[in-house]
Amino acid sequence: MTEKDVSNVDVNFVVIWLDQDVNKKQENEDTKALLRHAVGNQLKTFDNPDECIDYITTESMKLVFLIVSNAFGHYLVPMIYQLPQIQAIYVFCVKRQRAEIWVKPHFKISGIFTSKKILVNKVRDDIDACNVNIHIPISIFHIDDRQKIIGDLKEDSAKFMWYQLLIIVLQRLPISKHSKDDMISECRIVYRTDQVEKDKINRFEQEYTESNAIWWYTYDCFVYRLLNKALRTQNIDIIFRFRFFIHDLNNQIKQLYLKYLQDHCPLSEHRLTVYRGQHLNIDEVNVLLRNVSGLVSMNTFLSATLNIDIALIYAETDSKSAEISQTQSVLFIIDIFDMSEETTPFALIAGNSCNAEEEEVLFTIGAIFKVISVEKKDDRWEIHLQLSQEENKLYRDLSYHIMRQIGSEANSLALGWFLYRMNDFNKAERYAQSLLKQLSNNDKDTGNAYNLLGLIHKDTGRLPQAIEYYQKALENYSYTSSPNNPQVIATHYNLGLAYLATGNKQQAAEHQAKATGRLTNSSQTNNPLLVAMTVGLKAKLDTANGNYVRAFKSLEKVLQTKKNLLPSGHPSFASTLKEMGIVQLKMNNHEKALEYLNEALDICCKSLTEYNIDTADCHENIAHVYYKRQEYSLALEHFEKALDTVTYVSREDVDRVDDLQKWITNTIQMMSHQKKNCLVLIGLALGLGLGIGLHNSDQNLIVVINTTSITDTTTTTTTTDTTTTTTTTETTTTTTTTTTTIVVGK
């Protein structure tokens, strides 16, 4: 794990003590020892105000609790108190009267302190109160998103499904004897300089068993802090290290829940109400307010209490504290009924918790609730949630829908495929790499993980690495799957595409032949989608070799096959339509090319995330069509959109970024030449007295030059009668107007 990774999973706050004598007096050493015992390694001391300010401004992602001396505080506090990361300021001095002269009532000033013990207790209490509010990641699923394609999910709905898939996968992963060691090793890296937490880690190593998972979760230590921050920040590495603990904690809650069901039979009329008090910022409250009747997931092990008075203590806040955190007081009221083994498990954990007096109720990770109402009552929000079998049914429907779209069962790679479909390539790659460390070489999911990594690297422009991963996948399949397994066929197809993208047509053709051969010799011969896949690769090869007519006919068959089998608007249509547009472009059929490419782009925009490689491909090829038609402003527009998308999705693809930038530069130059030529023509036209018309369109300036030519035609007619001959000459004047239209980019 790198230093940056460690920083990402470390705790969320820092206690800063600024005093010119902070490192000089023995009594200050005693105070530092007390603070370190309370907050671990999160204490930073400064005797220079400028260095202190520099540190605070660079640590904008951490919550800052600032202890300041009277000497520095009177001029420093007015300068920095408005920084959002500053949560509270403590004036620590010998003589209170001097500080009272300049300390004015302000919501971030927590008080003036002359006792080190009172100071340390106040700092610890403020941090604990803050942790109550930051350790409850929430995600919303919009009911109207239930049947949407993955990429079209609203951001919070996608986050909701991210966590639900994570939970499914974690519960299915095998737990090895090394899993606990992995977690402990990771924790020791994070807290390598914090002796207090290192002692707790040693104790955990010696005393932890699966039967005391709840006790360790409720104990104030590294377990709670690291796990919940990892879940909140979606840190795949840490979540994976904690998988065995998540598994044990879930299981202990489930066991206690089943016992609860037995003790309260019959359950038909049994109802339980629990409470949770905390603070939310107003934006989070408004999200819940807008989603009444929607589903909300608590993306951690949600803690509540049977005692409303205890919940109200956590919800309570004075006006100063509310201003400090800029949060709202919230009381969650959770009704649980219609209980069965199918309902989300929860447990009354007083007998298992390290805080028995709080009458705590703990829900399994990712519990889903329905938002019944959100109401403001006096100075507090009351949010009513409901947990019943109805929510479980909705969740099962959602899981089925999402699994169908990613084409995966609820196996260890399901989350990776979901992240890949969402174009979250970094998380998908880290997830697959983490998974590979847990799987044996004899596991077929090892090959699938390599295949996923190959796709990720291809889509981000790292073709040599993509080819390497595909080859590793084939190596794994050679002893875990039959040669004609659909996944083997698909991997040969993927290798063919990757080699073709590198310009190696020979290798691409070899893998296309292998894919076709294995398909012919397998039970999948009648699988139309696999057939379409191999035919599509052959069409790409034909295009690369200039056999455009044959390529287009093949692509027409592929498109028809997909239309017969896949729902309307399926993203797979876009790739075929895009290829058809490219073939038409090669054949200089520009109108047809635009027709297919725009249809592909429309499907991409509706069925995929905003930024994805297929969309970039469509924009780039549309740009090439307009460039050939000398409609440079439209070409520039699409080149720039392609560049924006590629930069966002696969900034590692340096070659493609450079290529697009060159095309943009070239297009701008062509627009400039076109404008100059146009001005020359206009000047000539004016000099010759020709008619000129200027018209504005949305995209271009259109110059119309009317050229008029006058032609005189002389006709001679001779008439002869018996006595005389008469000759008649007639002159006819013909006027011809020729219109020339020039399109100039704006």
Residue range 391-420, pLDDT digits in tens: 666 666 656 655 555 555 556 787 788 778
Nearest in space to 746 (alpha carbons), one of 631, 665, 624, 628: 631
Token reading at 222: 């590294």
The C-alpha atoms of residue 35 and residue 37 are separated, in whole angstroms, by 5
Query: Which pLDDT score is estimated for 717?
Result: 53
For residues 205 and 136, which has the higher predicted lDDT (pLDDT)? 205
Strand ranges inside 105-263, DSSP E: 109-113, 138-141
Length in residues, the chain: 746
Query: Which pLDDT score is estimated for 46?
Result: 93
Unique residue bearing structure tokens 């005393």? 207
Count of Cβ atoms closer than 10 Å to residue 292 Cβ: 14
Average pLDDT over residues 236-245: 84
Query: Which pLDDT score is estimated for 264?
Result: 77
Question: Would the pLDDT of 1 be above 50?
Answer: no
Query: Which pLDDT score is estimated for 267?
Result: 63
Average pLDDT over residues 273-285: 87
DSSP state of 299: S
Residue 398 in contact with residue 165, Cβ under 8 Å?
Answer: no
What is the tens place of the pLDDT at every residue in 24-50? Answer: 877 888 888 888 877 777 889 999 998
Token reading at 616: 């970039």
Question: Would the pLDDT of 530 be above 70?
Answer: yes
pTM summary value: 0.63
Average pLDDT over the chain reads 80
For residues 420 and 471, which has the higher predicted lDDT (pLDDT)? 471
Looking at domain 138-400, its CATH class is: alpha beta
Nearest in space to 608 (alpha carbons), one of 163, 501, 616, 624: 616
**DSSP readout, 17-57?**
EE-TTTTT-HHHHHHHHHHHHHHTT-EEEES-HHHHHHHHH
Residue 297 in contact with residue 367, Cβ under 8 Å?
Answer: yes
Strand ranges inside 319-393, DSSP E: 327-337, 346-348, 360-363, 368-377, 380-387
Query: Which pLDDT score is estimated for 268?
Result: 61
**DSSP readout, 280-291?**
EEHHHHHHHHHT
What is the tens place of the pLDDT at every residue in 618-668? Answer: 999 999 999 999 999 999 999 999 998 888 776 667 788 889 999 999 999
Rg of the chain over all Cα atoms, to the nearest angstrom: 35
Token reading at 155: 């951001």
Question: Would the pLDDT of 265 be above 80?
Answer: no
385 Cα distance to chain centroid: 27
Percent of the chain topping pLDDT 90: 30
Token reading at 424: 């979250």
pLDDT band for position 482 (cuts 50, 70, 90): confident
Question: Would the pLDDT of 676 be above 50?
Answer: yes
The CATH classification of domain 3-134, taken from the options 3.20.20.150, 3.30.1330.10, 3.40.50.970, 3.40.50.280: 3.40.50.280
Average pLDDT over residues 95-110: 77
Average pLDDT over residues 133-146: 58
Question: Would the pLDDT of 145 be above 80?
Answer: no
In CATH, 420-557 is 3.100.10.10: no
Q: Return the H-helix or E-strand segment holding 68.
A: strand 63-68
Query: Which pLDDT score is estimated for 147?
Result: 41
The C-alpha atoms of residue 534 and residue 516 are separated, in whole angstroms, by 6
Nearest in space to 587 (alpha carbons), one of 536, 548, 543, 625: 548
What is the layout of strands, in order, in the sheet containing 138-141?
Answer: 138-141, 295-298, 368-377, 380-387, 327-337, 271-281, 303-305, 360-363, 346-348
Q: Is it true that 138-400 and 420-557 share their CATH fold?
A: no
Average pLDDT over residues 162-181: 74
Average pLDDT over residues 252-274: 85
pLDDT band for position 146 (cuts 50, 70, 90): very low
Q: Give the residue extent of every domain in the chain.
A: 3-134, 138-400, 420-557, 691-745
Nearest in space to 216 (alpha carbons), one of 35, 344, 362, 434: 362
For residues 133 and 692, which has the higher predicted lDDT (pLDDT)? 133
Torsion of CA 206, 208, 209, 210, to 10 degrees: -150
The C-alpha atoms of residue 70 and residue 75 are separated, in whole angstroms, by 9
Token reading at 6: 């460690």
The C-alpha atoms of residue 559 and residue 538 are separated, in whole angstroms, by 14
DSSP state of 441: T
Average pLDDT over residues 269-275: 87
Question: Would the pLDDT of 328 be above 50?
Answer: yes
End-to-end CA distance of the chain: 52
Unique residue bearing structure tokens 């002869």? 720
Token reading at 129: 């109160």
pLDDT band for position 682 (cuts 50, 70, 90): low
Average pLDDT over residues 82-109: 80
Question: Would the pLDDT of 714 be above 60?
Answer: no
Average pLDDT over residues 100-122: 82
Question: Would the pLDDT of 480 be above 80?
Answer: yes
